[in-house]
Structure 1
Amino acid sequence: MQKKVLLDLVEIKSGIASVLPFLVGLLYSAYAGLKIDWLSIVMFFIAAVSFHLAANVWDNFQDFTNAKHETFKAGINDVIGREGVAKKQVMTVLAVLVVLATVLGFATWARVGGWLWPLLSLISYAVAFFYSAGPKPISRTPFGELASGLTMGYIIVLLVVLLNNPTHVDWRLAGQVFLVSGLGVFSIANIMLANNIGDLPEDIKEDRHTLAFYLGQTKGLILYLILYVLGYASLIAAVVMGILPWTVLITIIAIPVIIKHFKFFWHDRTKRGSFLLTIKNTVILMALFIIGMILGLIFIG
């Protein structure tokens, strides 16, 4: 398998959606004064990225296998059909990534202990499997945005915090982490929403009843904008409550870029006008958040 095909199969560009929340969790742990367990952090980082890429491979394989129209299997949105990737090759890549993620996940749990960390990990595995498999895959329902936003945007951050704070777990901590990760949760959910809005004509043919299917493209775009507002609201709430340093408000400078991309998306509701621009939004927001956290650690905490 050629390198480019492999990178397309694992959807390497979307890997940033798990890397950035990981960094958010790490920086918040440092700002909150937690002792960083660096070995567990490194193992979990490799496990999380491997698992995310495995989920992408599984999603692509299920979409190809369950496609109702041959035009989809040979379409630009399906790398397996487009590049003629053999099933054996797909399964090999999937197995390597799953084994790597699972082994490192168990090794991390052995260091952390407790019941919550493996429970959250199992929830992530279940979401990844049923996202594109089973009698009614999540990706074909209105809950894809919720599943992806919470799993990658929130659970990854919470797992990182728990690595560095395994003995103190309560609802207050979970709520604080949600506010900390809110900008990531809603922007990652928007990646899925944008993808579904752009894919709506194709999804209708494939009988995928996503959130965009029920809302339509116009209402879907309105929700898209609302989710960014909710992300900023959670960020501001975290600053007001003293959970995050005020320096993270540097993310506000991304608003003109988001509005510019939104206007483009409003007029061009295809994949070109949605998916990549939304990934850029997420990268910009999370990068600014990370810069704000670093500034907070240097000058405040």
Structure 2
Amino acid sequence: MSSVQNQNMKASLNEREGFQVWWRLLRPHTLTAAFVPVFIGTMLAAIEQSINFWLFLAMLLASILIQAATNMFNEYYDYVRGLDTENSVGIGGTIVRDGINPRVVLSLALSFFAIAGLLGVYICLSSSWWVALVGLVSMLFGYLYTGGPYPIAYTPLGEVTAGFFMGTIIIGISYFIQTLSLTIEVVLISIPVAIFIGAILLANNIRDRVGDAENGRKTLAILFGHKGAVRFLISLFAGAYALTITFILFGFLPYWALISLFSVRKAVDAIKGFKGKSEPLEMLPAMKATAQTNTVYGLLLGISLLLQLYIPLG
């Protein structure tokens, strides 16, 4: 790639120098997938009893650090395997375009894991050591998502794995450390959140489908093809919203949770953004809208639980 093409690529991706290089390494658009489950799990606990703010803060920071570290492992191992180049669209690009030493990226990821581990010790001391076991398994899968001999991200199980660990598990832990219990209602409520998180990965894989196929990946987007993957994304959105409405009708969620349906607009934007598109750069707005769907839905659902705490509607 020529220097002119490289500059055009950076302009298209809205990339900047200096601090922005390190900020992109964190892939900030994915970090809401770490915040939302902690917020929802804690608000579910708050409806039943008062919460420990410091436990909430520790869990939130640990979750964000693990997500950021997972992103760094992704960047490092995709580079090592030769999957990321200067032409790759949508990645952080700190290694292939900004020239950051790969060892630095790997060291930062391991450091973030270590800090998350220390926060985990505090969380366990304040709640239960069972959390340590679940946390270690979650960190292991965060590494194996793109690390190890058989990366999960390169298989059809990427979306399910991400949704389960970043959605159901984090919501469950966030609730458990506050109440020292776990209910079937909490697990069920976590499912739409898990679906939206999985949808973020699916959107990413739709965008990268052609390049991933050339590099031997077997993601759902590759197996379904572009049109099939978009239809599957539609079904994920529809399923998540249908479950939300069902949980409201059955009393698992308060009527306030209806405000989470305002996120449908972002879901529609995501679907429209994928239809008729073939170039990765064209699909970046659709991927952004998918991530925003999760963010808006999660924030509104968490706010609905907070409203229920102070203004009960049933």
Fold equivalence (TM over 0.5): yes
The match for 1:19 among 35, 55, 72 is 35
> For 1:47-126, what aligned pairs fall within 5 Å after superposition?
47-67=62-82, 72-76=84-88, 77=91, 78-115=93-130, 117-126=131-140
CA deviation map 1:223-258 (0-9, x unaligned): 101111221122123222222111101122332442
* Dislocated runs of 4+, deviation >4 Å: none
Cross-structure match for 1:129: 143
Aligned AA (1:276): K
Cross-structure match for 1:228: 237
Cross-structure match for 1:165: 179
Separation (CA, whole Å) in 2 of partners of 1:259 and 1:23: 25
* Aligned: 1:266 with 2:275: yes
The match for 1:144 among 142, 158, 178 is 158
Shift, 1:217, TM fit: 1.1
Separation (CA, whole Å) in 1 of partners of 2:221 and 2:298: 25
The match for 1:30 among 46, 53, 57 is 46
- Unaligned segments of structure 2, at least 5 residues: 1-16
1:132 partner SS: coil
> Is the Cα contact below 8 Å between 2:29 and 2:288 reproduced in 1?
no
Cα 1:134–1:88 change in 2 (3 A) is: closer
Aligned AA (1:7): W
Aligned AA (1:237): T
Separation (CA, whole Å) in 2 of partners of 1:43 and 1:263: 38
Give the TM-score taking structure 2 as reference length: 0.87
> Is the Cα contact below 8 Å between 2:264 and 2:293 reproduced in 1?
no
Separation (CA, whole Å) in 2 of partners of 1:143 and 1:34: 36
Separation (CA, whole Å) in 2 of partners of 1:249 and 1:43: 29
Aligned AA (2:220): L
> Is the Cα contact below 8 Å between 2:193 and 2:298 reproduced in 1?
yes
Cα 1:253–1:40 change in 2 (3 A) is: closer
Cα 1:113–1:287 change in 2 (3 A) is: closer
Separation (CA, whole Å) in 2 of partners of 1:210 and 1:242: 36
Aligned AA (2:230): L
Cross-structure match for 2:298: 286
**Count of residue pairs brought into register by the alignment:** 291
Separation (CA, whole Å) in 2 of partners of 1:165 and 1:155: 15
CA RMSD of aligned residues (A): 1.8
> Is the Cα contact below 8 Å between 2:168 and 2:194 reproduced in 1?
yes
> Is the Cα contact below 8 Å between 1:74 and 1:82 reproduced in 2?
yes
The match for 1:255 among 264, 270, 279 is 264
> Is the Cα contact below 8 Å between 1:195 and 1:274 reproduced in 2?
no
2:156 partner SS: coil
> Is the Cα contact below 8 Å between 1:187 and 1:282 reproduced in 2?
yes
Shift, 1:273, TM fit: 4.2
The match for 2:255 among 236, 242, 246 is 246
Separation (CA, whole Å) in 2 of partners of 1:209 and 1:198: 14
Aligned AA (1:2): G
* Aligned: 1:299 with 2:314: no
Cross-structure match for 1:276: 288
Separation (CA, whole Å) in 1 of partners of 2:277 and 2:239: 24
Percent identity of equivalent pairs? 24
Cross-structure match for 2:6: none
Aligned AA (1:204): A
Shift, 1:127, TM fit: 1.2
Cα 1:266–1:101 change in 2 (3 A) is: same
Cross-structure match for 1:156: 170
> Is the Cα contact below 8 Å between 1:112 and 1:163 reproduced in 2?
yes
Aligned AA (2:126): R
> Is the Cα contact below 8 Å between 2:185 and 2:252 reproduced in 1?
yes
2:284 partner SS: coil
Shift, 1:114, TM fit: 4.2
Cross-structure match for 1:40: 55
Separation (CA, whole Å) in 2 of partners of 1:246 and 1:136: 44
Cross-structure match for 2:4: none
CA deviation map 1:81-105 (0-9, x unaligned): 1111112321332232111111111
